[in-house]
Chain A
């Protein structure tokens, strides 16, 4: 079945450094890849997404890259700030099963002042 693997599970960086989270997906038909940020006890919030016809997308300090051939995509956060500390989930959407999203296991990012 469809699967999304996410690494690392935890990531600790100093304020101002960059953070990179990587995901791989198994379903080659996947065409939509969102990233969600979830703070403790709160709902996941969409922070950026990318579609399969695009290789890279950037929004201020956040960027996502997609390599369809290798079936992996990455989240890049530059100039990290303490408020970036949260759990980040990647997801991939296939064309089967009402276009459901398959989520990665999550990455707990800690940004230290």
Chain B
């Protein structure tokens, strides 16, 4: 099946610094990638939709200047948490949708990145 990787898997940073998380589709092309945030024992909260070659679409309440998304190619999207604060600590998961064929809907998830801001 389709494979999505994320890097890093875990990161600890100081408050005020920026952190970049990469999401890659390894064996398929993804015109659309999604970034989710998940708190312990809670559901997946969609933060933004990343489209190759265009600006990301952010969900209501998500600060676009705080969470910068870049989808530079059909296999790579990045999420940068700028000026991170302890409340940004969370599990960030990306997913990618295979563009091959009409009506492809399946989303494949990356392994997630656990961010801890001290």
Residues in A with CB closer than 8 Å to B78 are none
Q: Are B49 and A44 in contact (CB under 8 A)?
A: no
**Known A93-B105, A97-B57; contact A42-B43, beta-carbon cutoff 8 A:** no
Stretch in A57-65, A78-86, A99-107 touching the partner: A99-107
User: What is the minimal beta-carbon distance from B91 to any residue of chain A, in angstroms?
Assistant: 8
User: Any chain A CB within 8 A of the CB of B77?
Assistant: no
User: What is the minimal beta-carbon distance from A51 to any residue of chain B, in angstroms?
Assistant: 8
Q: How large is the interface on A (under 10, 10 to 19, 20 to 34, 35 or more residues)?
A: 20 to 34
Q: Are A99 and B105 in contact (CB under 8 A)?
A: yes
Q: How large is the interface on B (under 10, 10 to 19, 20 to 34, 35 or more residues)?
A: 20 to 34
Residues in A with CB closer than 8 Å to B106 are 34, 46, 49
Which of A43, A45, A98, A104 lies in contact with B112, CB distance below 8 A? Answer: A43
User: What is the minimal beta-carbon distance from B77 to any residue of chain A, in angstroms?
Assistant: 13
Residues in A with CB closer than 8 Å to B110 are 43
How far, in angstroms, from A16 to B111 measured CA to CA in the complex?
30
Task: Identify the closest chain A residue to B57 (Cβ).
Answer: A98
Task: Identify the closest chain B residue to A1 (Cβ).
Answer: B60
Residues in A with CB closer than 8 Å to B67 are none
How far, in angstroms, from A93 to B107 measured CA to CA in the complex?
11
| A-B residue pairs in contact (CB < 8 Å), sample of 17 | A34-B106, A36-B109, A43-B93, A43-B109, A43-B112, A44-B44, A45-B109, A46-B106, A46-B107, A89-B43, A89-B44, A98-B32, A99-B97, A101-B34, A101-B107, A104-B43, A105-B43
- 3 pairs of A and B residues whose beta carbons are closest in the complex: A43-B109, A98-B49, A32-B105
